[in-house]
Structure 1
Amino acid sequence: MINQRLISDIGANIKQLRLGKAKGQTEVANALKISVAALSKIENGQTDINLSRLAQIAKYFEVSLSSIISKEGSLSVSQDVVEEIAELKQQLVDKDAEVMKLQKKVIDLYDKLGL
């Protein structure tokens, strides 16, 4: 049996896919030939979902099965955000190096003063 956390994560990923495509539960449920209540239970992690239903949902949303199952699939980060994070990391490395140089200067000054 699949653990409850995974079922909840899969449901949340499906809900995020649906909302990302600006589709209502009724529209998606009708396309999948299931009730709105059944879709709601899937999205809220209240029911197990079998592999064939997962495949049907992946096909409907035109995504891979793994993107529905994995947590990474639930995160949609734009390239701009990725680039900004990389730039901030580099700035942090640069500032860290600057602090190290200043610490060395302070130590050298203490040595010259004999403290």
Structure 2
Amino acid sequence: MYDEKCLLRVGRNVRALRLAVQMGQEELAEKLGVSQTHMSNMECGRVTTSIRGLLKLANIFDCSLDVLLDKKAAVKLAAQGPGRGTGSQSCTAKAGSGTCTKPQGKDHR
């Protein structure tokens, strides 16, 4: 089940993914439609993002929401680095792979 810890983890996962694709905080903030300061606060866990923000981030990184909420999935994807491929096959986390798991059933990408 998802909980608040998942939301706090998003910032760390976003930072890992951003660094893996060699994108600056300012560039990601611009793509997300927020200030660089807000992006920094998000990565540090001082602010959380909305569902809309999560969807935008998933689209920017071309990954499922699981990758943003699940530490193991984000680390695995980030380790693949730039040119990791695109699409859900290269970045969709498996349910149960970390503390937070996605609901069973349809992929919510």
TM-score, normalising length: structure 2: 0.63
Larger helix share, 1 or 2: 1
Which letter does structure 2 place at the counterpart of 1:40?
S
Q: Which residue of the partner structure matches residue 75 of structure 1?
A: 75
User: Matches of 1:8 and 1:68 in 2, distance apart?
Assistant: 10
Alignment of 1:1-115 (within 5 A): 3=4, 5-76=5-76
Q: Structure 1 unaligned runs (5+)?
A: 79-115
Cα deviation digits, residues 74-115 of structure 1 (max 9, x gap) = 22267xxxxxxxxxxxxxxxxxxxxxxxxxxxxxxxxxxxxx
How many residues end up aligned between the 2 structures?
Answer: 76
The offset of 1:40, in angstroms, is 0.7
User: Matches of 2:15 and 2:8 in 1, distance apart?
Assistant: 10
The structure whose RCO (Cα within 8 Å, separation 6+) is larger is 2
TM-score, normalising length: structure 1: 0.60
Cα deviation digits, residues 15-50 of structure 1 (max 9, x gap) = 001000000011111111110011111111101211
The offset of 1:73, in angstroms, is 1.4
User: Matches of 2:7 and 2:20 in 1, distance apart?
Assistant: 20
Which letter does structure 2 place at the counterpart of 1:26?
E
Cα deviation digits, residues 49-90 of structure 1 (max 9, x gap) = 111100001101111111111122122267xxxxxxxxxxxx
Which letter does structure 1 place at the counterpart of 2:46?
Q
Which letter does structure 2 place at the counterpart of 1:13?
N
Q: Structure 2 unaligned runs (5+)?
A: 81-109
